[in-house]
Structure 1
Amino acid sequence: MKTELPNLPIHTVLPDIQYGLNKHQSIVLAAETGSGKTTIVPLVLIDEPWLGGKKIIMLEPRRLAARMAAKRMSDLIGDTIGNTIGYRIRFDKKVSGNTKIEVVTEGTFIRIIQNDPELANIGLVIFDEFHLRSIQSDLALALCLDIQQLRDDLKIMIMSASMDSSKVAEILGGAPVISGKGRCFPVTTHYLKRFSSDYPVQRTIKAIQRSLAQDTGDILVFLPGAGEIKAVQGQITGDVLCLPLYGNLPQEKQDRIFAVTAKRKVILATPIAETSLTIEGITVVIDSGLMKVPQFSPTSGLTALHTVPISKASAEQRAGRAGRLGPGICYRLWLESEHHSKADFLAPEIIGADLAPLILQLLRWGVSDPKELQWLDPPREGAVLQARELLIQLGIIDLKGTLTDIGKKAGALPLHPRLALMLLYGKQQGHGILACRLAALLHNRDLFRGGNAQQSSDIEDRLDILDLFEKEGATMVRARGADPSLCRRILKEALQYQHILKINDKEETKSHFHESGNLLAIAYPDRIAMRTTGTSQHLLASGRGAILPEGDHLHRADFLVAAHLDGGKKQGRIFLAAALTLEEILFSHAHLLTNEERVEWTGSRVECQSVLSLGSLTIKKEALVNVSPERILHCLTEGIRQSGLHCLNWQQKSRDLQTKIQIAHEFAPDQWPDVSDQTLAKDLSWLEPYIGSLTSLKQLKKLDLHTILLSRLSWKKQQKLDDLFPSHYSAPSGSRIKIQYLPGEAPVLAVRIQEIFGATETPTIFDGKIPVTIHLLSPARRPVQVTGDLPSFWKNTYPEVKKELAGRYPKHYWPDNPLLAQATARCKPRR
């Protein structure tokens, strides 16, 4: 390039850059803010011999940065933009056959590389401001590294003022790292105390007022998002020009910040102004210390913007804006002690993003597993699996993970797979214009400004506003509480989608609002929601709960599709939705439905139903007839297991029998069956012959378990059992006293002491092998002593017991020698 370029700090390392790219496939350029790397380096390299006449393509993270970088380079060489230097961004491009340097956004580069997998006419790919690490920049680098395996003449250069250079150099195969100084004048930093609870809006306003009063020059204010910008802008008064700057702002309004004006400017910007922009006149930076980043929740399957503290690297980038053209001042709206605890760099987007778009682009590239490519930070396996599940549900890939025909078409559109699919099916069904408008609405912030203006979450209200804007203009739209400039932008974007899809306005009508729910269901099948009867709550097909704002007219709809909602811990709040009818689900979305014959245990009975469901939603239930007895029997036995054997009709008689058989089993396991609760519950075949057509616990209570258990023994065994386990004990007094058989315990004989006088041996069962535990009772049948050795009791314990009982029951018979005494069931023996 023969044009004389401004003498900027980057010139000191230009020879190293030229040499590095001549000798290596890749280099890393770590040059400080204000060095001139974005505009000078590409111009210097344009005529390098190793380019072989091929183009340089430079990636920028934001559209504004791409346009302004291309314009600045064109101005430096005295050329018109779109000739030697061009740009290509979403829905806008200025390039020609003469273009040698093309500045593109990262998303645009993905589409370029997918259409030209060899980058045949590209000699150098420059990644600018790489420290921002969007998911698209990571994907672009992985694809470029893949191409380098086939093309050793393709060069890669990664540039940033703040990044982990060693990590980047390593993935580039040990590429050389070139460090360059910047041109940043001294910036005095002030940390401000928290003097307002309304952070960051009120604190920012006070900081602006302070700077306007005591500083000179224009002010650049960093705020997290458009909402905060508008809140601050509405309260800045005085003889200043207050200008917003954010990504969705129309291009002509973005360009106003670069115009030279007589008034002092206060520019309220999102992080869009952090990099690659030098704004004339800026001497003061006010930094809220916050930014909004998209965070994907694997639990809810939703992506939402979260406000998070910026990193130290971002704070330095922002402060550097004040020192581009002279000494400056930076006000940080946080304490200095807080600054030290900030992260050096924020985590790259790929760590916590929705990976469905990434997986779709990899499949288009021919890669089924992300591990086949090189990544600075590999996509997480759980997020990859979740992305594949969504793509399967949308029909973009099949169960084998192969792209379907519709998936191939969706991948070529500059939208999330959900919205791309909606556009394709919308066109197919004759509702392409409506689909384009829905996609544009969902791709931008809400038309309504908030507050009392928003009466409903119904997306059809927004479509009505767009129609109103077309017919009546901005005044009527503003009266409805909507944003006219955003209407203009959304309609322009919708027209661009129509152009891509080749949808002719004349062939379609626009008034198909009633089809909104149908179209949204194509994009969000997992967010089809059903109202819970009698409440404002909805259940999504994904299984999550969601709620509409109070008073929303969508409450009248039994079904809806929630296109925008947050990922609340218990249930999400629905912001944008469209009504859907049962008939529409049955007719247009039958592929999402499953019809299942369910034989289920409800906790008390077997229910047989035919259930039509959509994910977690039960659409319709009908009684199921002609169910096989085997299925009912299987379900009932499973229900018994779940409820436990205690749900059966256990009486003392049946428990006594169970205990006797179990004791016999423990002494002779080869002769007697195991009838413990654990074994009986594990295999219910012993009970099945008696269940018949029973279906409920109530009916099971009628079963005679004593008879059922007894039937497990032969007649001979039943007789033997009676001999081994007598039901009563014949006491010396002549009384027949019941023996208690308790599960897991020794048999118990509860008998009054007087009735067992004269008994010299402990009673036994099971052919004398098992002693009975004797509970000796007072005349009032209160426990006195427990013993398993009756002779020992008479000898050692009875004398003491006798003294106590004789004093308490003096009319009763208390002999000195119980072994020789006459047993009696009366107070005293008969004479």
Structure 2
Amino acid sequence: MSGEALGAGFSLINELGSLPAASVSPFIGKESQHSLSATEFQTITDPEIERLPIADCVDAILAALARGRSVVLKAPPGAGKTTGVPLALLDSDASELSAGQPGKILLVQPRRLAARSAAARLATLRQSKLGNEVGYHVRFDRQVGNETRLIAMTTGMLLRRLQDDPLLEDVGCVILDEFHERSLDGDLALGMLCRIRHALRDDLRLVIMSATLQPAPIVEFLGDAEGIESRGRSFDVAISHASDLSTDRIENQVVAALPEMLRCTAGHILVFLPGVGEIRRTQNAIEAAGLAGDCQVMQLYGDLRPDQQDRVIAASGQRKVILSTNVAETSVTIPGVTGVIDSGLARVLRYDDRVGLPRLQIENISQASATQRAGRAGRTEPGVCRRLWPETLQRTRPPADSPEILRADFSGAALTLAAWGERDATDFPWLTPPRSDSVDRAYRLLELLGAVDADRVVTSMGKQMAAQPLSPRLARFLVEAEQLGIADDAALAAALLTERSPFDRDSLPTGADVGSCDVALRVQMLKDLRDGNADVRVPPGAVKTIWKVADRLVQRGPKSSPRQQRPSGVTIAADLLARALLAAFPDRVARRRSPGSAQGVMVGGRGVRLHRGSVACHVATAQADRAELFLCLDVDASGTEAQVRMATQIDARWLDDDQVRRVDQPRFDPQSQAVQMRRCLYFSDLLLSEAPIACTPSPESAQLLYDEAARDHARVFPPDKPEVAGLIHRVAFLNNHAPDLGLPPLDDDRINQVLRELCQSRTSFAQLRSAPWLDHLLGSFDYQQQQTIERQAPVRMQVPSGNWQRIEYSPDKPPVMRVKLQELFGWTDTPRIAGGRVPLQLHLLGPNQRPQQITDDLANFWRTTYAVVRKELRRRYPKHHWPEDPLSAQATRNGMQHRRLEKK
């Protein structure tokens, strides 16, 4: 390509100042290496071209494409890659099809704003009307004619085109611009283009352009690519940092930094803020502080209306203070910016594994993003940048942003691949593979929505959903709404849910006749605004955009015969709208914790709270019992309790019968100490209702009863039968004092075996207490072992009076017999058990049943102590029998028997 041909395109570009020479860097093997030299390629001598850093790389790009290679271009902002490369391709044969015909060039941008602004600039440089040679295609907005060769489009529109035309038959070259953003759609598009190029279209040229990514990994991934690098501009940007990390609100920090920025540079000031809310608060703070002066304070973000975006980007003689999200980081160029104030923050969408919901959270930007933002001040001349964080913290930030595929919801990509014929997303060529749990979660959702079957094959429903320019959920919503006969209302609702709402949530009325559905309320208000029946102040441009999007959705929407017609005389079929939403959000069903409560629990167990601005939060007392269920549509999961900002009340009768389970569920009630049975209805894992039913023994109830009883056996032993605990202690006594007997221990394991048997036919502690514990415990020993226990550790022993006295066994204590002193007359020595190894501890009781002496040596007691005890007892109980010689006296049961003989 000649320098004159390039000059025709580049000569219209603004004067850019003196630039350094560009360089071309080699990557990955000799085949991929290329460096510019005057002997290999024609030297470009046009003075206007030499002012563009990218100009020195153009011949290398075209030569690589001519050899059938892909190109990975690294060129910083300001190098002219978005403008220069497409123009060079237009005037070359590098985009020709294999048949020799000129092919279309697709310039793919990650954002609508960038695609539109790039197309407008390229059309101006080509001195043609937008929509002729150069056009654009973004969601619900298209300016493309029959003669259009260069189309700037969003990544989403490229994916849509790949669905409709998998071979891209009339496309000669695809340029993926701003690839360093590593959006999920961008990675998906790269993989799909690689599949097409390697399998079916080896004549399809690919150019991957990035501001910060190193080309080497992408070159290696593509396999047949060359890496080319341009150094870009060298205008100095003086960067200063805050002395410490402020805890003040971000708008106050900007107000503090702005006066110095206005003094030290004469150009426009670009302020990077994390979101629209921060932008609006900062504008209010600047105006309240009187800092604007002669400057025009303007807002810039992705959802701004196109005409408003154009006013921000357009050249102006008035100085601007532009408050922007990260959309101005790489996607658009704003001429005349020489000052940047960087908050160092951005809103990032991440899927939160803990709550099972996507969460938009404010995070610190990476070092690469900070460099990008600062570079915006040095595009045309030296500039200044003020960072609102200390320099010491700059080094702690991540070097680059993580690819979106590692943190975002994967369901949209999975549906795209399924509709494209890919059954397993993990087998797809990814530059960065997605997380396996993210892939599994995406397919579970698609199966829940009916988009794929159990084998991950796309269904008829999935094909209809994939044809919609919407997320899988909203696509499912449109399909269901079409079948319910409310396609128009649903299209308006989908537009509301995808575009920025024009309504202030706190000012919405709650008494509209739309049921308890926030979406139906907004749809009705939009219709009232159109008809002049609403007294609500809203941005007219935003309302116009929503209607425009809704009209496009109706045009593209699924065409099928509705199952039913809209009820006559109903302006908004709120119930039908809610039913269609239920089909799209079945995993967002929630149940109120109590009738009329704003708190609830959602499928998955997440606690939620309805925002006070939601109509579902305001339920009439008479309706409280019928308003148990609601659908969570817009959820902020940042708190301990997810805030539901938009919801709709639903009827349990609308739930899919296939997903409603009846479970007879036993549970142990601590108060009644019994297993109770409740019949429960579940939607997924969400409890819808429960009612008590009779509990009969079952394996489940037996396990519950066992688990509770095993915590403390004493709670289920018969309270009136100490023999049960006594048997346990007797066996433990013999294990300790006569281990040679070989008795197996009656420990917790053996007791639990018996307990488990008893629980099989019982459901309460009361029934366990009346169970034949002693028989079952003894039955765990054989006959010989039972006889050994009875002989060596008897329960009772006969004393000289003829009575049988109980022997008490306790852990870590000697066996005890409590007996009246008079019943032992004639016993010469203490009886022993456990084969004569252990003497009984005798508690010798007086007539008052209180121990008069405790001994395990009865002979010694008779010999040394009895006389003293006898004297005291005779004094206190003179009518009782107290012989002088206890060994020769006859034992008595009541202590009175032989007193007459003694008198005689």
1:511 and 2:511 correspond: no
* Pick aligned residue for 1:35 from 63, 79, 84: 79
SS of 2:330's equivalent in the other structure is: coil
Deviation at 1:353, TM superposition (A): 0.9
- TM-aligned CA deviation for residue 561 of structure 1: 1.0
Residues 449 and 775 of structure 1, relative CA distance in 2, 3 Å threshold = farther
Give 1:311 deviation, angstroms: 1.3
Q: SS of the residue aligned with 1:75? A: helix
Distance 1:515 1:558 in 2: 18
Greater mean alpha carbon deviation, residues 605-614 or residues 384-393: 605-614
- The equivalent position to 2:64 in structure 1, one of 3, 16, 20, is 20
| Structure 1 residues 782 and 176: CA distance shift in structure 2, 3 A | farther
2:478 pairs with 1:423: yes
Matches within 5 A, 1:269-284: 269-284=324-339
Question: What is the aligned counterpart of 1:527 among 588, 605, 629?
Answer: 588
Q: Give the SS at the match of 1:357.
A: helix
Q: Which amino acid aligns with 2:424?
A: D
Structure 1 residue 609, shift from structure 2 partner: 4.1
1:664–1:86 distance in 2 versus 1, CA, 3 Å: same
Which residue in the other structure is 1:109 paired with?
158
Backbone CA RMSD of aligned residues: 4.2
Deviation at 1:164, TM superposition (A): 3.4
* Map of 1:477 onto structure 2: 536
After superposition, residues 697-736 of structure 1 pair within 5 angstroms as: 697-707=765-775, 709=777, 722-729=790-797
Q: Given residue 540 of structure 1, which amino acid in structure 2 is its aligned partner? A: M
Provide Cα deviations, 1:691-710, integer angstroms capped at 9, x if missing partner.
Answer: 4xx54333443334335545
2:607 match: 545
Return the alpha-carbon distance in structure 2 between the equivalents of residues 683 and 727 of structure 1: 21
- DSSP-derived class of the 2:54 partner: helix
Structure 2 residue aligned with 1:567: 637
Separation in structure 2 between the aligned mates of residue 465 and residue 739 of structure 1, nearest angstrom: 88
The one of 624, 627, 649 aligned to 1:579: 649
1:783-802 alignment to 2 at 5 Å? none
Inter-partner Cα distance in structure 1 for 2:338 and 2:382:
7
Contact 2:239–2:385 (Cα < 8 Å) also in 1: yes
Q: Is the 8 A contact 2:464 2:558 kept in 1?
A: no
- 8 A contact 2:340–2:376 mirrored in 1: yes
Q: Could you tell me whether the CA contact under 8 Å between 2:506 and 2:613 is conserved in 1?
A: no
Whether the 8 Å contact between 2:246 and 2:389 is mirrored in structure 1 is: no
* Pair 764,490 (structure 1): closer, same or farther in 2 beyond 3 Å: same
- Give the deviation of 1:782 after TM superposition: 9.6
Cross-structure match for 1:312: 367
Query: Take 2:421 and 2:68, find their aligned partners in 1: how far apart are those partners?
Result: 28
Offset at residue 216 of structure 1 (A): 1.3
Q: Deviations over 1:157-187 (max 9, x none)?
A: 2211211333222222274321112135222
Residue number in structure 1 paired with 2:662? 595
**CA displacement at 1:379 relative to structure 2:** 0.8
Q: CA deviation at 1:572?
A: 0.8
Aligned mates of 1:539, 1:775 — CA distance in 2? 65
Shift in CA distance, 191/174, structure 1 to aligned 2, threshold 3 Å = farther
**Change beyond 3 A, Cα 1:197–1:605:** same
Q: Secondary structure at the match of 2:217?
A: helix
Preserved CA contact (<8 Å) 2:662 2:681: yes
**Cα 1:445–1:99 shift into 2, 3 Å:** closer
Q: CA deviation at 1:252?
A: 0.9
**What amino acid maps onto 1:415 in structure 2?**
L
Give the Å deviation of 1:198. Answer: 3.8
Distance 1:671 1:110, change over 3 A: same
Partner secondary structure for residue 274 of structure 1:
helix
TM-score (norm 1): 0.85
- Separation (CA, whole Å) in 2 of partners of 1:167 and 1:823: 109
Please report how far the alpha carbon of residue 354 of structure 1 lies from its aligned counterpart in structure 2 after TM superposition: 1.0
Counterpart AA for 2:312? I
Which stretch of structure 1 is more off in the superposition, 238-247 or 105-114? Answer: 238-247
1:130-145 equivalences in 2 (<5 Å):
130-145=179-194
The 3 A distance-change label for structure 1 pair 288 and 530 is: same
Q: Map of 1:641-680 to 2, 5 A cutoff? A: 641-645=706-710, 646=713, 647-651=715-719, 652-660=722-730, 676-680=747-751
Amino acid at match of 2:634: H
Equivalences for residues 801-820 of structure 1 within 5 A: none
Task: Encode CA deviations 1:76-126: one digit per residue, 9 max, x unaligned.
Answer: 232222233222111112223333332221111111112222233333322
> 1:817 is matched with which residue?
none
In structure 1, C-alpha distance between the alignment counterparts of 2:433 and 2:232, rounded to whole Å: 32
Cα distance in 2, alignment partners of residues 212 and 757 from structure 1: 117
Distance in structure 2 (CA, Å) of the matches to 1:129 and 1:782: 100
Tell me the amino acid that sits aligned with residue 200 of structure 1: I
8 Å Cα contact 1:130/1:160 also seen in 2: yes
Name the CA distance, whole Å, in 1 between partners of 2:839 and 2:205.
94
Residues in 1 aligned to 2:161 and 2:374: alpha-carbon distance in whole angstroms: 35
Consecutive unaligned residues of structure 1, counting only runs of 5 or more, are: 814-819
Q: CA deviation at 1:367?
A: 2.2
Aligned AA for 1:605?
Answer: A
For residues 347 and 29 of structure 1, the distance between their equivalents in structure 2, rounded to whole angstroms, comes to 20
The residue correspondences of 1:294-443 to structure 2 (distance < 5 A) are 294-443=349-498
- Aligned pair in 2 of structure 1 residues 145, 49: CA closer, same or farther (>3 Å)? closer
Give the AA of the match of 2:77. T
**Residue 63 (structure 1) shift:** 1.0
What is the match of residue 34 of structure 2? none
Distance 1:196 1:676, change over 3 A: closer
Q: Say if 1:749 and 1:775, in contact at 8 Å, map to a contact too.
A: yes
Kindly tell me the number of residue pairs found equivalent between the two proteins. 797
Using structure 2 for the length normalisation, give the TM-score.
Answer: 0.79
Looking at structure 2, the residues matched to 388 and 823 of structure 1 have their Cα atoms a distance apart, in angstroms, of 95
Matched residue type, 1:653 = E
Contact 1:195 1:203 in 2 (8 A): no
- Give 1:280 deviation, angstroms: 2.2
Task: Tell me the equivalent position of 2:555.
Answer: 499
Q: 1:25 to 1:821 in 2, by over 3 A?
A: farther
Partner of 2:260: 210
Counting only pairs closer than 5 Å after superposition, residues 38-187 of structure 1 correspond to structure 2 as: 38-46=82-90, 47-49=92-94, 51-52=96-97, 53-150=102-199, 151-173=201-223, 175-187=225-237
Give how far 1:129 is off: 1.0
Q: Tell me the SS of whatever aligns to 1:176.
A: strand
Distance 1:215 1:244 in 2: 20
Counterpart in the other structure of 1:607: 676
Q: 1:364 to 1:761 in 2, by over 3 A?
A: same
Secondary structure of the residue aligned to 2:699 is helix
1:644-686 per-residue CA deviation (whole Å, 9 max, x = no partner) reads 2424233422222355578889999999998644234346574
Rounded to whole Å, the distance in 2 between the matches of 1:757 and 1:167 is 104
Please point out which of 482, 499, 502 is paired with 1:447. 502
1:249 aligns with 304
Residues 698 and 224 from structure 1, CA distance in 2 versus in 1: closer, same or farther, beyond 3 angstroms? same
Deviation at 1:380, TM superposition (A): 0.7
Cα deviation for residue 239 of structure 1 reads: 2.6
Alignment partner of 1:738 out of 789, 806, 821: 806
* Distance (Å, rounded) in 1 between the aligned partners of 2:387 and 2:888: 101
- Note closer, same or farther for the CA distance 1:389–1:569 as it changes in structure 2 (3 Å cut): farther
CA distance in 2, matches of 1:782, 1:54: 117
Is 2:524–2:572's contact at 8 Å kept on the other side of the alignment?
Answer: no
Q: List per-residue Cα deviations over 1:391-434 (Å, max 9, x = no partner).
A: 22222222232222111211221111111101000011101122
- The letter for the 2-side match of 1:501 is G
Deviations 1:576-611 (A, max 9, x none): 011223xxx314643432233445554533434443
Using the TM superposition, name which of 32-41 and 51-60 deviates more.
Answer: 51-60
Q: Is the 8 A contact 1:540 1:616 kept in 2?
A: no
1:746–1:773 contact (8 Å) kept in structure 2? no
Q: Which amino acid aligns with 1:641?
A: Y
Following TM superposition, by how much is the alpha carbon of 1:532 offset from its aligned partner in structure 2, in angstroms? 1.5
Distance 2:828 2:233 in 1: 113
